[in-house]
Amino acid sequence: MKTAFHLCMLALLFVGPQKEQVWTANIDQIRHAARMIPGKAPLHINVVKFAESRRTKNFSVKGAPNEPSVQARTVFQIVYADGYVMVDSGMDQQVHKFFGRGVVEPYDAESAKQVERAVRGARAILVTHEHGDHVAGVIHTPFANELAPKTILTRDQVQTLMTNPQMPEIKLTTEAASRYNIVDYEKYLPFGPGVVLIKAPGHTPGSQMIYVALSSGKEYLFIGDTAWHMDGVRNVKGKDAPWIQEDENALMPQLNWLNGLYKTERNLFIIASHDDEQRTDLI
């Protein structure tokens, strides 16, 4: 009995409360992962803006002035010599209306058609996170069955889309989900020559960043909605939008890491999906 009591005490000593793990990433490890898959690196990156939301900047960056600001709705194209990969997939006008919350916002139908054509012609489609303006183009579309076999979704993204989608239009059934390529990884996932997926939950459970190293040596880091505006990265400030639900405690280490890269890595371009000022400058 005494021995059993001692063993129980030892067990209690060793099984203490688990400390929550803080998000970290290492750019050198990511660069190494980008070289793991043989093949020629991508040549360049294209961007298309197909819609926008007009909101004041204080919603995008906590503490920013209450001044007009445009949130661009964008997709990106990683171009190789023999094909291309899409980053995000756009959305139709019905899904776009959700983001206006009763206000009619600009939607460029011709640019949206260009996005649709680009998505259909892609070798593969990656999604930064599971919100409608990023994923609806491969779900709420007449071409869903055609696009699913070349769309890569993470298990966390699929879980959200099945159980807690942002809107009914992007809800996945078990049968529909089975048509997509579902991946699960711990930290980094080499996807192709020069491309690495980086797990970064916070804005959504399935959020990820996408690192791209071009053949020219230039590097890009697509951060999805980790920050809506690059001032969030520059000033390490989260969002102040009451209509979104995100884990700010998870996001702050990501913003700190991105801020460090912004200050030290002059050849690395950090891309916030919705920063229209940055998009114009880069073009």
Q: Which domains does the chain have, with CATH numbers?
A: 25-282 (3.60.15.10)
Distance, CA of 77 to CA of 276 (rounded, Å): 17
Mean pLDDT (the chain, rounded):
93
* AA letter at 94: Q
Burial of residue 110 (CB within 10 Å: 0-12, 13-18, 19+) is exposed
What pLDDT score does 272 carry? Answer: 98
Assign 100 a pLDDT band (cuts: 50, 70, 90): confident
Q: Calculate ∠ Cα 229-44-106, nearest 5°.
A: 40
Assign 20 a pLDDT band (cuts: 50, 70, 90): low
Torsion of CA 107, 111, 112, 117, to 10 degrees: 180
Sequence-ordered list of residues with C-beta below 8 angstroms from that of 208, at least 6 positions apart, any chain: 128, 129, 154, 197, 198, 199, 200, 224
Are 229 and 280 within 8 A, CB to CB? no
pTM: 0.92
Instruction: Inform me whether the pLDDT recorded for 10 exceeds 90.
Output: no
Model pLDDT for residues 181-211, shown as the tens digit of each residue? 999 999 999 999 999 999 999 999 999 999 9
What pLDDT score does 19 carry? Answer: 59
Are 73 and 254 within 8 A, CB to CB? no
Instruction: Write out the H or E segment, with its range, that includes residue 13.
Output: helix 2-14
Are 183 and 154 within 8 A, CB to CB? yes
Model pLDDT for residues 111-166, shown as the tens digit of each residue? 999 999 999 999 999 999 999 999 999 999 999 999 999 999 999 999 999 999 99
Model pLDDT for residues 56-68, shown as the tens digit of each residue? 999 999 999 999 9
Model pLDDT for residues 244-275, shown as the tens digit of each residue? 899 999 999 999 999 999 999 999 999 999 99
Q: Terminus-to-terminus CA distance in the chain, angstroms? A: 75
Assign 4 a pLDDT band (cuts: 50, 70, 90): very low
Q: Which residues pair with 181 in a beta bridge?
A: 152
